[in-house]
Amino acid sequence: MARIDNDTINKIKDSLDIVDVISNYVSLTSRGKNYFGVCPFHDDTNPSMSVSKEKQIYTCFSCGASGNVIKFIMDYENISFPEALKKCANMANIHIDINDRAPILNHKELYEIYDLSCKFYQNNLNSKLGHSAKEYLYNRGITDEIIKEFSIGYSLKKRTLLTEFLTNKGYTKKDMLKSGLVLEKDSMFDIYSNRIMFPIKNRNGQVIAFSGRIFDTVDTSKYINSKESEIFKKSEVLYNLDKAKEHARNSGRVIIMEGFFDVIAAYISGIKYAVATMGTAITKEHAAIIKKTAKEVILCFDGDRAGLKATLSCIDELSKVNVEPKIVILEDNLDPDEYLKKYGKEKLKERLENPMGLLDFKLRYRKKDKDLTTSSDMALYVNEMINEINSVNDEIEKEIVLKKLSEESHLDIDFLRGKIKKEEKVAPTNIVKEEHENVCLKAEKHLIYYMLQNKEVIVMYNKKVSYMPDSDMRMLAREISLFYKEYGHIDISEFMNYIIDNEKLSKTLGEVLKQNLKDNYKIEEIEKLIDSIDEYNKKQHLDSLKNKANKTLDSKYLDEILKIRKGEM
Ligand SMILES: [Zn+2]
């Protein structure tokens, strides 16, 4: 990401008071030096978030969310860094020319071409020639309001119109071909002809691709999607996220669907927090975005076999980021669009608002293709369900499903309960090891905490700590050290800007700040922290030598062990 220069960022940050800004969003009460409020970044009713006027940062002692004023706006509003910066500049009444597209300035022409094409297609739909396309949309229950809301357009039959339009606007052949909207054989021509055009936007609402749908013939492929480009990566894009994100934040829910018409059907029924993948299975990138969008994730795919498969793979991908989705299955194997037509919007809304839990869904689909009147299928079913129950965390949900399973299988519930995995007992040697690790990790966190308070601690760290055992802490300490090297001082709030587009580091920083330590310290205390890190490293080294000595019976390892024990190393 192209960085906006640091002085500008600091100027904006310094002209705002974090306490004033956060009070606009969260009610704060002063207690001692700091202010406290209910953290908006996790589900809570206790005031676990502290805001420091002095340091100009906030920290949640429960979930570890932390940052400066820009980070707060970014996360609360769910917007990008440049957008948050712009918002903060406005609040501070500073006029600074921050381009929304700052991080993506390289692709200025591409964004412009897509933006202009979108307007061009919208105009077509409203022209005389767009009449039959519009009729088609009306027949599908898509009103003028919806057409406008989703910027739906129409590509005319004549295949050179967009090419001419863009040429007249002064775009080069190279840019037009790069967009993928224009192709070249003997001459240049539009890729889309006689299709209803659905623009695909990124999370900031910029058009980055189209999906063109046929409507009056059946002989060609139903949809043509723009090819991937520098600004359009299918694996990262969710249709309608730009508009759904705000509704998702307000309701705490997001629904994942399969296609545009499903999202639009949900919108018509009054559910505005639905998004769709671009005809691909959910990717790791999607899962990460979804997790950030809302706490409650609901899947609503087609009721057919393909839809079931998509649901299962989505559950799988989401479980990798610790999200347990809920599921809506519509009757008669209908998709949401068909369901809307058959049962009306009230009914669709009701269905979307009442998803079933993950285990209930599993109870259903594990039954598919099994004949539960036979003992063998029933045994298979019960075993599969026991595995499923073991994979969820919610104890209450587990009990409820166990009860249902017991009723279905006529097996005693206590017998079934006995099959549920007990918490594994940790072997005593592991406990000792874990304790050591915990002591060391705590020391690392504390040390970093004080590195952020005073540069003298950074100097001590640079001189005396050879290795931070925990990789996250190691990276954070390294970054603090780099910041100090570059700017010659340390300031937490400024440092937060330095790492603002690195989610992992920001999270680790949250873990450190969560410690809630006193600000003043004695040098001896710092030395003690460094000693315990050192001791842990030595012990690790010793253990690995012992291991090698045991394996190879080589005396050189034993000599080294003895030396370390005598304190010579
Ligand atoms: Zn929190």
Q: How far is the CA of 44 from the centre of ligand 1 (A)?
A: 8
pLDDT band at 280 (very low <50, low <70, confident <90, very high): confident
- Note the pLDDT of residue 569: 53
Give the integer Cα–Cα distance in Å for 324 and 239: 22
pLDDT in tens, 139-158: 989 999 999 999 999 999 99
List the one residue out of 37, 73, 74 whose CA is nearest residue 52: 37
- Note the pLDDT of residue 353: 95
- Note the pLDDT of residue 327: 95
* Most confidently modeled range among 361-370, 384-393, 430-439, 447-456: 447-456
pLDDT at 567 over 70: no
pLDDT at 2 over 50: no
> Rounded mean pLDDT of 250-256?
92
Find tokens 């809920």 and name the residue. Answer: 326
Find tokens 């998509």 and name the residue. Answer: 310
pLDDT in tens, 454-509: 999 999 999 998 888 898 999 999 999 999 988 899 999 989 988 887 888 988 99
Q: How far is the CA of 85 from the centre of ligand 1 (A)?
A: 22
Query: Which residue did the predictor score with more confidence, 49 or 302?
Result: 49
| Strand duo 253-257 + 223-225: pairing | unpaired
pLDDT band at 99 (very low <50, low <70, confident <90, very high): low
Give the integer Cα–Cα distance in Å for 341 and 411: 43
Q: How far is the CA of 148 from the centre of ligand 1 (A)?
A: 38
pLDDT band at 103 (very low <50, low <70, confident <90, very high): very low
pTM above 0.85, yes or no: no
Q: How far is the CA of 77 from the centre of ligand 1 (A)?
A: 15
pLDDT at 198 over 60: yes
- CATH number for the region 6-91 comes to 3.90.580.10
- CATH number for the region 243-356 comes to 3.40.1360.10
CA angle 409, 411, 412 (to 5 degrees): 145
pLDDT band at 426 (very low <50, low <70, confident <90, very high): very low
487-to-10, 262, 292, 372, 484 alpha-carbon distances in Å: 13, 52, 32, 70, 5
Give the integer Cα–Cα distance in Å for 184 and 167: 14
pLDDT band at 553 (very low <50, low <70, confident <90, very high): low
pLDDT band at 365 (very low <50, low <70, confident <90, very high): confident
pLDDT, the chain, mean: 87
b vs e for 496-523, b when ≥16 Cβ sit within 10 Å of the residue's Cβ? bbbbbeeeebbebbbbbbbeeeeeebee
Q: How far is the CA of 375 from the centre of ligand 1 (A)?
A: 50
Q: How far is the CA of 511 from the centre of ligand 1 (A)?
A: 11
Give the integer Cα–Cα distance in Å for 539 and 138: 73
- Note the pLDDT of residue 422: 59
Domain ranges of the chain: 6-91, 105-232, 243-356, 361-417, 431-565
Domain covering 105-232 assigned CATH 3.40.47.10 in the classification: no
Q: How far is the CA of 79 from the centre of ligand 1 (A)?
A: 18
Q: How far is the CA of 64 from the centre of ligand 1 (A)?
A: 6
Q: How far is the CA of 532 from the centre of ligand 1 (A)?
A: 30
